[in-house]
Chain A
């Protein structure tokens, strides 16, 4: 099994543990990831605020490279990159104007893209290609008794919804059940917005949103929150002191990339999963996993 791999900009800084643990996890599962050559920023939400076509064009440069580089699907780890790239495909398919303009822009730099490269979220690849049975068979340390709050984040399934439901996604729940965890399947905040980039421009508002999510996880007795997006992970983990200050709470909840916790279940060394890079110590989680 082989995929082209788009890490995204966060994978080079705040979200580097997501990238490191993804590579380790996929290697363990026998999935080869080939990094997309000379990939650029997907444009995120910022480019949409300047010109819609610019955002599609710069996202499409990555898709054009992917199409040239190989026949494999393009695997993406960041929810925002995933949505931006998948949305570009969808709008190129739906709108002849978008398609024509994007292809014109690519042609201006000597590139071609027909709009058909499949963009896959890593969870989609794990659940639907690798398969939960195959993953379950490789578990070395079942996550028995670990209460996992699966936090999906907005752009996991919205607006695209190609591999999971836009209102009630379940893939991450099923994934961690396969690893033996005690999944909090009724975690009501699993899709509530963390505020995203708002943490930098309107911290009061974003802290309020994070408070709701953290409180919801704590009320259910979560041992760990798992995230599938570098921005969600950063907001929920890094700003717990700010939430505590604003709301008089005492949150100290470990937050991990879902690939880190899955890697532990598969017996990968915590160092290879960059677990020491987490801001809130994951020691209680490590200690609680049965050997």
Chain B
């Protein structure tokens, strides 16, 4: 993570938490995440709902007086959670992330209908009932094509990630 070392100069001012649209729903606000990170309590943070409620709005990042890229830090913690299987019990985001990536690996693009269908089947049976009206409207207006578009160079995506896997293995 470029410029990741900047968390050392966090002054705990709380601008990030004050700017965060979802901090009131979080177990720990972004300021506390950085404090916990520096205190070596990473597992507690990673297992909280906090990082999975980050919507990537970048409000904290553009406001941080210490120039800490907090959104990037949230991504880093998401990666740690997925890598070491340290996930909060009720979060469905990692599954969504996985399915999204599977989609891109398979087709080269994200097929929204396929993504939503897989997510609903695996994680949220109530979704078709909550969003039935919307689904029907989108479908009838042609906004939900059933077939995915595929790119010619889709195997390039897997090749690039395989290259980066190998590079990472070399470094470790």
B40 in the interface, Cβ–Cβ < 8 Å?
A: no
The answer to whether B108 touches A40 (Cβ under 8 A) is yes
Measured CB to CB, the closest approach of chain A to B102, in angstroms, equals 10
Which of A140-148, A197-205, A259-267 is the interface stretch? Answer: A197-205
Q: A130 at interface (Cβ–Cβ under 8 A)?
A: no
- Residue B25, interface by CB 8 Å: yes
* Residues of chain A within 8 A of B57, CB atoms compared: 154-155, 158, 193, 196
- Check if A118 is an interface residue, CB within 8 A of chain B: no
* Segment of A23-31, A69-77, A104-112, A179-187 engaged in the interface with chain B: A104-112
Q: Is the CB of B161 within 8 A of A57?
A: yes
- The total number of A-B Cβ pairs within 8 Å is 194
| B1, B58, B72, B82, most chain A CB atoms within 10 A | B58
Proximity bits, B3-36, A CB within 8 Å = 1, else 0: 1000000000000000001100100000000000
Residues facing A in B56-111 (CB within 8 A) are 56-59, 61-63, 69, 71-72, 75-76, 78-79, 82, 91-94, 96-97, 100-101, 103-104, 108-111
Choose the segment among A119-127, A131-139, A217-225, A235-243 that binds chain B (4+ C-beta atoms closer than 8 Å).
A235-243
In the complex, the answer to whether B167 meets A104 with C-beta atoms within 8 Å is: yes
Query: Given A13-B113, A57-B161, A58-B157, are A158 and B62 neighbors across the interface (CB < 8 Å)?
Result: yes
Q: Which residues of B contact A43 (CB under 8 A)?
A: 104
A67 → chain B closest CB, angstroms:
15
Is A163 an interface residue when CB atoms closer than 8 A count as contact? no
Taking a contact as CB atoms under 8 Å apart, the answer to whether B157 and A40 are in contact is: yes
Chain B minimum-CB-distance residue to A159: B58
Would you call B108 and A197 a contact (CB within 8 A)?
Answer: no
Interface size on B, residues (CB 8 A): 69
Nearest chain B CB to A48's CB is how many angstroms away?
Answer: 4
Q: Are B104 and A40 in contact (CB under 8 A)?
A: yes
Q: For the complex of A and B, list the 10 residue pairs with the smallest distance between their C-beta atoms, beginning with the closest.
A: A154-B57, A158-B58, A46-B100, A95-B2, A193-B21, A105-B160, A9-B110, A108-B163, A109-B156, A49-B78
- Given A41-B110, A45-B56, A48-B72, list of 5 further CB < 8 A pairs? A17-B143, A53-B164, A58-B160, A159-B62, A198-B53
A contact residues vs B (CB 8 Å cutoff): 9-10, 12-14, 16-17, 38-41, 43-54, 57-58, 61, 83, 91, 94-95, 97-98, 101, 104-106, 108-109, 111, 154-155, 158-159, 161, 166-167, 192-193, 195-198, 200-203, 205, 208-209, 238-239, 241-242, 276-277, 279
17 examples of A-B residue contacts, CB within 8 angstroms: A13-B113, A49-B82, A51-B79, A52-B1, A57-B160, A58-B104, A83-B58, A98-B2, A109-B153, A154-B56, A155-B56, A166-B62, A201-B96, A202-B25, A238-B138, A242-B131, A277-B141
